[in-house]
Amino acid sequence: MPSEVKERTRDGSIRTDGAYRGYDLRLQATDNRPEALELLLTGPGTPMNEYFRRYWQPVCLSEQLTDVPKAVRILHEDLVAFRDRSGQVGVLHRRCAHRGTSLEFGIVSEHGIRCCYHGWLYDVDGTILETPCEPAESRLKQTVCQGAYPAFERDGLVFAYLGPPDTQPKFEVFDGYVLPEGTKLVPFSNEFACNWLQVYENLIDHYHTAILHNNMTVEGVDAALAAGASFSGGWTELPVIRWEATHGGNGIIFTAGRRVSDTKVWVRISELGFPNWAQNASLAPSAARLRHTAVAMTRWQVPVDDTNSIAFGWRHFNDEVDPDHVGCEADCGVDRIDFLIGQTRHRPYDEQQRIPGDYEAITTQGAGGVAIHQLEHPGRSDVGVYMCRSLLRDALRGKAAPDPTRLRSEADTGDSLPRYTSDTVLEVPRLGDADADRQLIQETANTVLAVLKEAEGLSSAERRKHVLRRLDEIDGGLRPDGDSRE
């Protein structure tokens, strides 16, 4: 007997309310709509593929460039990365221009890389230096080249520009890369068996930190292991969050305010810069007690294809963002990260089930590694994710204003560029009424963000001094109406 869906809404979709609705709901659509696919599809010829190619993208870690070439796949494209013996970095198309042998079996040479099959030698820019089997008068060297992309190394990451040569931007250097003095950037990668977007969205989906990273474990789990999957020191509070478009609509931030005692409020700010850059503030419990600390992690979520992506990034180590030295440089590297277990795919299934982390939550959204947006049922806590998608779509379609950060980078003053990522703790006595107190927490967050914005026009040397001075002035003086008593 043919099955029939009895209850449909007026627009023909299946009703999603009620009880024991499994029989009908199994027939819900499993494909994304075009406006979602616009962000999810990253293959050749798609708008997202071109968007990613307008920015420098990490393609591997420096430690992966050894005496043999490194095969990488980025943006659906097979490439080979290497550092020749003179120290130059090359990122080339993987198939040899001669007759297609993979250069992952090539020989890293003094200058460039030599194909193993007939010995064509390519410089890092793809020009042919030698064709040893050809007669001396051969003009092949002048008429053929290997596809190549500009590349450089910085603090253990290998970046490449995969876009048109005439739109190659400068690499943007943000404050957190160089400040505070003594900052050490430690590279890492983190491979996800899913579409790039759901990993990227996780960074703006801050409510999950109070749930997923708060001992969401079944009974009987080893306590030390469970603790390793959970943040501590204020994270257990559900935050008061506000999201805001930044940089002309080319990014989004959230401010997350939490009351951490009867007298203190902790304001955390994280940000995304489109298409795939992000920064997080502190990953240590000290975040909820220190006056003002900045960046703990920078990352780029790079598509491999539509069901695999890699987070490449830096963990930022300095005494300011992690004075108790909770982080561990040695635990960062290729598909390894030092905070919160549950970030990578390298765990036994039983442990994944008992102590799920970001990896399990993110990669299992949707079917086959791709979240199905139209099957989601978003609530108020999802406003940031939906804002993010909308802003990203507008930026992709060219509707955002020119990114002022990028314009400043191109102007190249030699100074690093401001961002908002930070943790701030201010003295703000609790109000008796819970709703009024939440309002006060939000106003505190607004004030902190306003202070950071005030400092944007200053030099990097002046920015931090200005912010700390203003926070000192404000501390303890916030009132329910949002004014300070200065």
Which residues contact Fe ion (rule: CB under 5 A)?
358
Q: What is the DSSP letter of 365?
A: S
Query: Would you count residue 138 as binding ligand FES (CB under 6 A)?
Result: no
Cβ-based nearer residue to Fe ion, 172 or 358: 358
Q: Judge contact between 468 and 454, C-beta under 8 A.
A: no
101/308 with CB nearer ligand FES: 101
Nearer to ligand FES, 120 or 161 (CB): 120
The dihedral through the CA atoms of 404, 406, 407, 413 has a sign that is: positive
Nearer to Fe ion, 72 or 253 (CB): 253
Answer for which of 54, 73, 78, 117 binds ligand FES (CB under 6 A) is 117
Q: Determine if 92 is a binding residue for ligand FES (CB under 6 A).
A: no
Contact between residue 258 and residue 288 where contact means Cβ atoms under 8 Å apart:
yes
Residue 98: which of Fe ion, ligand FES, none does it interact with, CB under 5 to 8 A by kind?
Answer: ligand FES
- In whole angstroms, the minimum distance from the beta carbon of 70 to Fe ion comes to 29
Token pair, residue 430, equals 């609790």
Q: Give 56's strand partners.
A: 161
Instruction: Choose from ligand FES, Fe ion, none: what does 287 bind? Cβ within 5-8 Å by kind.
Output: none
Contacting residue, 111, 118, 154, 242, with ligand FES by CB under 6 A: 118
Could you give the CA distance from residue 428 to residue 476 in angstroms, rounded to a whole number? 6
User: Which is it for strands 70-74 and 77-83: parallel, antiparallel or unpaired?
Assistant: antiparallel
**Quick check: 82 binds ligand FES (CB under 6 A)?**
no
Pair 89, 80: CB distance under 8 Å: no
Nearer to Fe ion, 113 or 362 (CB): 362
Closer residue to ligand FES (CB): 140 or 334: 140
Residue among 187 and 342 whose Cβ is closer to Fe ion: 342
Residue carrying structure tokens 């970030």: 343
Q: Which does 358 bind (CB under 5 to 8 A by kind): ligand FES, Fe ion, none?
A: Fe ion
Nearer to ligand FES, 105 or 386 (CB): 105
CB of 106 to ligand FES, least distance (A): 8
> Least distance from C-beta 195 to Fe ion, angstroms?
17
Question: First and final CA of the chain: distance in angstroms?
Answer: 76
Tokens 């809404």 belong to residue: 9
Nearer to ligand FES, 119 or 147 (CB): 119
CB of 301 to Fe ion, least distance (A): 14
One character per residue 97-116, x = contact with ligand FES (rule: CB under 6 A)? -xxxx-------------x-
d(CA 236, CA 125): 51
In the list Fe ion, ligand FES, none, the entry touching 93 (Cβ below 5 to 8 angstroms by class) is: none
- Mask 398-437, x = binds ligand FES (CB under 6 A)? ----------------------------------------
Q: Is 96 in the site for ligand FES (CB under 6 A)?
A: yes
Are 150 and 160 in contact by the 8 Å Cβ rule? The answer is: yes
Taking the least distance from each CB to Fe ion, the nearer of 205 and 306 is 205
For 280, other C-beta atoms within 10 Å of its C-beta total 22
Nearer to ligand FES, 126 or 163 (CB): 126
C-alpha–C-alpha distance, residues 41 and 288, integer Å: 38
Q: Where does 93-185 have alpha helices with state H?
A: 140-143, 175-178
**Residue 212 CB, nearest approach to Fe ion (Å):** 6
Q: How many residues bind ligand FES (CB under 6 A)?
A: 10
Residue type, 265: V
Binding site partner of 99, from Fe ion, ligand FES, none, Cβ cut-off 5-8 A by kind: ligand FES
Tokens read off for 58: 């990490």
Nearest approach, Cβ of residue 59 and ligand FES (Å): 22
Sign of CA dihedral 144, 147, 149, 155: negative
Pairwise CA distance, residues 34 & 46, whole Å: 12
Q: Is there binding between residue 120 and ligand FES (CB under 6 A)?
A: yes
Residue 424 CB, shortest distance to Fe ion, in Å, is 21
Please name which of 98, 128, 139, 61 lies closest in space to residue 336, comparing C-alpha atoms.
61
Are the C-beta atoms of residues 360 and 352 closer than 8 Å to each other? yes
Residues 22-61, one symbol each (x = binds ligand FES by CB under 6 A, - = not), give ----------------------------------------
Do strands 157-161 and 184-192 pair parallel, antiparallel, or not at all (unpaired)? unpaired
Question: Of ligand FES, Fe ion, none, which one sits near residue 170, judging by CB under 5 to 8 A according to partner kind?
Answer: none
Whether 128 contacts 140, CB under 8 Å? yes
* DSSP class per residue in 211-254: TTTTT---TT--HHHHHHTS--SSTTSPPEEEEEEEGGGTEEEE
The contact set with ligand FES (CB under 6 A) reads 96, 98-101, 115, 117-120
